Amino acid sequence: MRAAVLTGLGQVELQDRPEPDARPGWVVVAVESASLCGTDVHQYDGRIDTPFPRVPGHDFAGRVESVGEGVEESWVGRPVAVKPSLPCNDCPECDSGKPFDCKKKKLIGLWSDGCMTEKVAVPVVNLIPRPDGVEAWQASLLEPLAVGLNTVDRLRIILGESVVVLGQGPIGLALTRLCALSGAGKLIVTDAREAPFTVSRAFGATDCVNVAEVDAKQAVLDLTDGVGADIVIETSGFPASSAMVLDAVRKEGKVAHIGWANDLPPLPVIPIMAKTLTVFGIGGNGGRGQYERALELVRSGRFDLDPLVTHRFSLDDVAQAFETAASKADGAIKVVVTP
Amino acid sequence: MRAAVLTGLGQVELQDRPEPDARPGWVVVAVESASLCGTDVHQYDGRIDTPFPRVPGHDFAGRVESVGEGVEESWVGRPVAVKPSLPCNDCPECDSGKPFDCKKKKLIGLWSDGCMTEKVAVPVVNLIPRPDGVEAWQASLLEPLAVGLNTVDRLRIILGESVVVLGQGPIGLALTRLCALSGAGKLIVTDAREAPFTVSRAFGATDCVNVAEVDAKQAVLDLTDGVGADIVIETSGFPASSAMVLDAVRKEGKVAHIGWANDLPPLPVIPIMAKTLTVFGIGGNGGRGQYERALELVRSGRFDLDPLVTHRFSLDDVAQAFETAASKADGAIKVVVTP
Amino acid sequence: MRAAVLTGLGQVELQDRPEPDARPGWVVVAVESASLCGTDVHQYDGRIDTPFPRVPGHDFAGRVESVGEGVEESWVGRPVAVKPSLPCNDCPECDSGKPFDCKKKKLIGLWSDGCMTEKVAVPVVNLIPRPDGVEAWQASLLEPLAVGLNTVDRLRIILGESVVVLGQGPIGLALTRLCALSGAGKLIVTDAREAPFTVSRAFGATDCVNVAEVDAKQAVLDLTDGVGADIVIETSGFPASSAMVLDAVRKEGKVAHIGWANDLPPLPVIPIMAKTLTVFGIGGNGGRGQYERALELVRSGRFDLDPLVTHRFSLDDVAQAFETAASKADGAIKVVVTP
Amino acid sequence: MRAAVLTGLGQVELQDRPEPDARPGWVVVAVESASLCGTDVHQYDGRIDTPFPRVPGHDFAGRVESVGEGVEESWVGRPVAVKPSLPCNDCPECDSGKPFDCKKKKLIGLWSDGCMTEKVAVPVVNLIPRPDGVEAWQASLLEPLAVGLNTVDRLRIILGESVVVLGQGPIGLALTRLCALSGAGKLIVTDAREAPFTVSRAFGATDCVNVAEVDAKQAVLDLTDGVGADIVIETSGFPASSAMVLDAVRKEGKVAHIGWANDLPPLPVIPIMAKTLTVFGIGGNGGRGQYERALELVRSGRFDLDPLVTHRFSLDDVAQAFETAASKADGAIKVVVTP
């Protein structure tokens, strides 16, 4: 079968690979749609170390093609979304039959070959049945929603609280929509490009601040009567953005940190104490519940994924897909790849 | 000045009353708009005992006309909403300068003369400044929103939870809107009339169940895959509605009880334990924060009060206003009275 | 092997039964200690319907004797406590490999034969390894602690809150100790017997109220400056006790209801609303976490089980054990049975 | 009257000062006992900038001697504790009669003259009546308890959680006791001196780690099966201690930061995200509630202050008191000064 393979920095090519088998407890999923994520791009551009060669990709959906020993036959043919982290099979949680609670999960596409191909084998516990009304391309875009749900679940927004979302990449945009749905009052977003703001506004942002043009911190203070926002969520992973988090939040406010980069500046402790803040570190996409709820948000129409998808490529053009996602050319937000 | 006076059951008439003075710490508010509430109607129809004669009414807005000793002159002329419960001035909280924490607050219009007149004296601590963009008629409709905020603040809806609101009177409709804004997924409402459902749908209800036509409990179970809703909020005050609360909620779900009536059936304890439920009793309109946030929801347009107001009368026609509110004629939801 | 068998109301006798086998995924545990619980007693006295004949008992500990297919051999010989509810194997949670989340668990000793015998077969997922320093008799008394942990976890006591525990049977006493450990300030307990109060005081109760001698509701109000307690936990299952719950709790307080009986009076709704209460229904012993934490409380010495055990019998004297537990003779609290 | 006056770095001397008057809304308190706090010591040693000359001190208790206009006469003669921060009288909260909610409170002894003297004037709202059974010296030691309560209220310890308290100065020791009372399981404390560990153990610490002798981080991991503690509370204000916080806490754990110093290292963001942590910044001593609850903990005997007080001086020997507190000679923990 065809597979996209990262062979080195900035190098992705189509290769022929053998089809996977379904081990006991595993299934083979025929990929119907996959999406590119910041992680894939950083594997490509070198900000995340990757053991090459590697088939990248972890956010995907498809249909079960075959099942291994011990898995019910009725799975075959069912449309599914796939939770992308594999249990380690080597910790107390995995040993006691709770692989979803594994604390050392490994992301496919990074620690094992991923979904930018035609067929992928995964444990049956990673499958999430796809309800009627959710198409494969939609179910291949769930991860930013799952990360976002994981965030709003911990922030517990009180109806009317002011929220700032720093960065309007896919995760920032997902959080914009999820905060709007969760009761945010004033909902301020920032980015260094104008392009995503059209989506931000459609998703419920009340104020869009272009950090390339204005002093974002001052803009947030101006929009919040000088006191700062109730909640500040940093998704950009940019040092300058991370550095303003503690200034933009009000006394006794809440901060969530999601944007991940090796060069993030550390957080000074004094303002965290002086302002009596609560800082939430968000480290992943949560559990099965987050994926199921993301599917329901899409199915019910409360989260419209359409504005996020700016580019679609076939697997044959995967090199172009990576180039587009990495350069953010043409206002790229989400790039979808179809085998 | 003119004042509506309840002189007995079903009897309201316009009388001439002396204008109030502003005692130290109090202000006189010129009433610009008042709304009728279930409490007023129950004073009129006898379901709530009232010492007659009594000027009814507690949900109102206006403009400060004069201030008593110790109150800043700058209040004069300011547009305000008014928190309708008076501190008792005779408890530890009142004595220690925290009248808002008074546990024995007395509702005006019931325990003292109220707002269905031209001018009302209230303590300055009861005033809530009315921001630009909020008109008097809007600010005279805040109480259902304050009660509703008090409810959703305690329920802490998690994004996507299914919610049932039993009863679509003004408080039920307020909760429909507030639950939609707070992240409810499936949002099922019930009432014995079709009339309010148009508003319910505009406010975000996904399913409207007419209890006069179908078995409401079964309808809720059918709409929730047989497991019951995550949250059930009873606002109707009708025995039959209260009786179904514990059946309509799922295992480990949450219940809020707001609808108040003397003939409510008691709650059986066994299902509360067997289903591991949490039951929240909601007893009032919360504090100043709830009123300020209600104003902001109206100002920002997130809560459109317009669909709630079905009838408007001048103070001269207050008898007709009461008759309309009591009979719920013409699909009456909220009746507004303007001096 | 010998087994105690309930053959009818008030009838328990020793019979010879075949030894159990370990099915795939199950293990056989040799019982080292079992304790009698209110449920067992109510099966005996008829307050709980039981399909006779039935081997009663569910709170026990022992040592793994043999394992079925698919279970690691290393379990054999290990000392264990046993979670007493069996997953139904017939619900979405069981099907998806999460038997601990099964919502239809069945208590052994009631829905299947229980532990008042020499050997019992249970699924391996029900085992909780017993750490060094915890003896079998201690590990056979975990259920009241697990129920109690399930309760304090939901109440989230704030340091210094006043707590009333109604009833000082085993669950009431467990809650007395757990509330003391969790930061209760004033800790008032009630019972109709003086006998348990010695244990109550050792466990941290500050005030013991004998409901047979004084008006318990008035006593609680007197001990709380007339305002009621922050938290009231009903464990007795007696109608009169349940009826006073809403009177003994303060405005905006919390109530937990655990005591289970068919003749409990229902809760009036008006005071739940008027006092803005939160009512928690506690329906069981929680999950694996509760059992593991209960074991650690015992191991570390923070929960001393010794005062709870008033009587010990051998399996041969099981009839006398039941008679003692049912009559509460000699100040009986917990009755332990050793095969 | 006599007053201790800081006249420069390391310089404190007794001077004669005029007695204060009670302005309207204020009272004069005759000081019966005062205690030295880290803030006082840092004003003396220069780690906190102070406008000299300044009468230091803020943690004290006494008896009301006279009252200003508008204050009830019945205060005169009453024993009181005093909340040590003055409302700014110049913010929206102060203007609307809620001085306790003032966000710009100023500590006496730093921003105005303090309590190391015979009489101090404070607003009546700062008084906390001292119940029978609490002596003046006890009520002059409440601040560390109030800070600690403010911390445990936000951490919401679940019964049995493991807690590490870094630093065993007065606030660290207060937290040791408050965490023990709040349900901590394993309770590990660290300090660079052996002296305070006797108190730590009396207060409930299970393990004492001398950071001058062992690798504290490794010690915590060893004591928690390699996974880290559920909760880590940093009170020492030492860079090395702050730096180990994120290593000593388990995945999904909670961190509280209280220790204040200008040279604290900033917190790296990656581990906060990777471990999905929640970080609480604790900035002060909370509100009136914390002081009242601290008094009740002392009155009821649940918090025994005696072990904290290592040295007592009369006001005449205030220079020696400061020298002892600054040098921590003779195992000094808390130094009490009596006028």
C163: β partners? C187, C231
Domain boundary among B266, B281, B296: B281
Whether A178 and A86 map to the same domain: the answer is: no
- Single out the residue of D119, D33, D26, D29 nearest to residue D65, CA to CA: D29
Which chain C residues are closer than 8 Å to D302 by Cβ? 185
- Say whether residue D178 is in contact with chain C using an 8 A CB cutoff: yes
Whether D71 and D191 map to the same domain: the answer is: no
Distance from CA of D154 to the nearest CA of C (A): 10
Domain boundary among B281, B296, B313: B281
- Say whether residue D287 is in contact with chain C using an 8 A CB cutoff: no
Which segment of A75-84, A89-98, C65-74, D132-141 scores lowest on mean pLDDT? A89-98
Which of B158, B181, B297 is closest, CB to CB, to A153? B158
- Which token pair is B155? 């329920």
C128: β partners? C81
Distance from CA of C139 to the nearest CA of B (A): 25
Distance from CA of C96 to the nearest CA of A (A): 7
- Which token pair is C175? 């809650």
DSSP D67-108: E-TTS-GGGTT-EEEE--EE--S-SHHHHTT-GGG-SS-EEB
- Single out the residue of A108, A27, A113 nearest to residue A65, CA to CA: A27
Q: How many CB atoms lie within 10 A of CB D248?
A: 26
Q: Is D283 exposed, middle or buried (0-12, 13-18, 19+ CB in 10 A)?
A: buried
What CATH number does the domain containing A259 carry? 3.40.50.720
CA D37 to chain centre: 7
Question: Best of A151, A159, A207 to disrupt the B interface by mutation (most B CBs within 10 Å)?
Answer: A159
Distance CA A306, CA A178 (A): 15
- Say whether residue B125 is in contact with chain D using an 8 A CB cutoff: yes
Whether A191 and A99 map to the same domain: the answer is: no
Whether B173 and B267 map to the same domain: the answer is: yes
Decide if pLDDT at B242 tops 80: no
Q: Is residue A289 part of a domain?
A: no
Decide if pLDDT at B97 tops 80: no
Q: Give the pLDDT band of residue D262 (cuts 50, 70, 90).
A: low
Whether D169 and D134 map to the same domain: the answer is: no
- Is residue C325 within a helix (H) or strand (E), and if so which, with residue range? helix C318-327
- Single out the residue of C38, C333, C12 nearest to residue C198, CA to CA: C333
Q: Is residue C267 part of a domain?
A: yes
What CATH number does the domain containing A130 carry? 3.90.180.10
pLDDT value, residue A262: 66
Whether D183 and D78 map to the same domain: the answer is: no
Question: How confident is the prediction for chain C on average, in pLDDT?
Answer: 92
* Cβ pair D153:C160 closer than 8 A: no
Which of A149, A159, A296 is closest, CB to CB, to B178? A159
Whether C185 and C129 map to the same domain: the answer is: no
Residue ranges making up the domain that contains B274: 144-281
* D neighbours by CB contacts (3+ pairs under 8 Å): A, B, C
Which chain B residues are closer than 8 Å to C281 by Cβ? 269, 271-279
**Could you read off the pLDDT of B124-159 as tens digits, one per residue?**
989 999 999 999 999 999 999 999 999 999 999 999
Q: Is residue A315 part of a domain?
A: yes
Which of B159, B185, B186 is closest, CB to CB, to A152? B159
Whether C126 and C148 map to the same domain: the answer is: no
Which chain C residues are closer than 8 Å to D297 by Cβ? 159-160, 185
pTM, rounded to two decimals: 0.94
Distance from CA of D269 to the nearest CA of B (A): 27
Which chain B residues are closer than 8 Å to D97 by Cβ? 97, 125
Q: Is residue D244 part of a domain?
A: yes
DSSP C18-53: PPP---TTEEEEEEEEEE--HHHHHHHHTSS---SS
Question: How confident is the prediction for chain B on average, in pLDDT?
Answer: 92
Angstrom distances, CA of residue A19 to CA of A25, A336, C212: 17, 22, 77
Distance from CA of C239 to the nearest CA of B (A): 11
Angstrom distances, CA of residue D39 to CA of B192, D31, D43, D165, D329: 65, 19, 6, 20, 18
Are B10 and B325 within 8 A, CB to CB?
Answer: no
- Say whether residue A201 is in contact with chain B using an 8 A CB cutoff: no
Q: Is residue A184 part of a domain?
A: yes
Q: Give the pLDDT band of residue B48 (cuts 50, 70, 90).
A: confident
Q: What is the DSSP letter of B158?
A: P
* Cβ pair D276:A281 closer than 8 A: yes
Decide if pLDDT at B221 tops 70: yes
User: How many structural domains are present in chain D?
Assistant: 2
Whether D148 and D228 map to the same domain: the answer is: yes
- Reading chain A (339 residues) residue by residue, the pLDDT tens digits are 999 999 999 999 999 999 999 999 999 999 999 999 888 998 999 888 889 999 999 999 999 999 999 999 999 999 999 999 888 777 777 776 667 667 777 889 988 999 999 999 999 989 999 999 999 999 999 999 999 999 999 999 999 999 999 999 999 999 999 999 999 999 999 999 999 999 999 999 999 999 999 999 999 999 999 999 999 999 988 877 777 999 999 999 999 999 877 678 888 898 999 999 999 999 877 778 899 999 999 999 999 999 999 999 999 999 999 999 999 888 899 999 999
Whether A61 and A16 map to the same domain: the answer is: yes
Q: Is residue C148 part of a domain?
A: yes
Whether C43 and C81 map to the same domain: the answer is: yes
* Cβ pair B275:C268 closer than 8 A: no
Q: Is residue A293 part of a domain?
A: no
Whether D55 and D119 map to the same domain: the answer is: yes
* Cβ pair B284:C262 closer than 8 A: no
How many alpha carbons fall within 13 Å on the CB side of residue C192?
Answer: 9
Q: How many CB atoms lie within 10 A of CB B141?
A: 26
Distance from CA of D74 to the nearest CA of B (A): 13
pLDDT value, residue D328: 87
A162-176, B241-255, B325-339 — which one is most confidently predicted on average?
A: A162-176
Distance CA D202, CA C255 (A): 34
- Say whether residue C284 is in contact with chain B using an 8 A CB cutoff: yes
Q: Is A293 exposed, middle or buried (0-12, 13-18, 19+ CB in 10 A)?
A: buried
Distance CA A107, CA A128 (A): 17
Q: Give the pLDDT band of residue D100 (cuts 50, 70, 90).
A: low
Q: Give the pLDDT band of residue C97 (cuts 50, 70, 90).
A: low
* B neighbours by CB contacts (3+ pairs under 8 Å): A, C, D
CB environment C272-311: b (16+ within 10 A), e (fewer): bbebbbbbbbbbbbbebebbbbbbbbbbeebbebebbbbb
pLDDT value, residue D116: 97
Distance CA B222, CA B264 (A): 26
Distance CA B208, CA B125 (A): 40
Q: CB within 8 A of A324, min separation 6: which ones?
A: A311, A313, A330, A332, A335
* Cβ pair C269:B280 closer than 8 A: no
- Say whether residue B97 is in contact with chain D using an 8 A CB cutoff: yes
- Say whether residue A125 is in contact with chain C using an 8 A CB cutoff: yes
Which of D152, D160, D206 is closest, CB to CB, to C159? D152
Q: Is residue B287 part of a domain?
A: no
B157: left (phi over 0), alpha (psi -120 to 50) or beta: beta
* A neighbours by CB contacts (3+ pairs under 8 Å): B, C, D
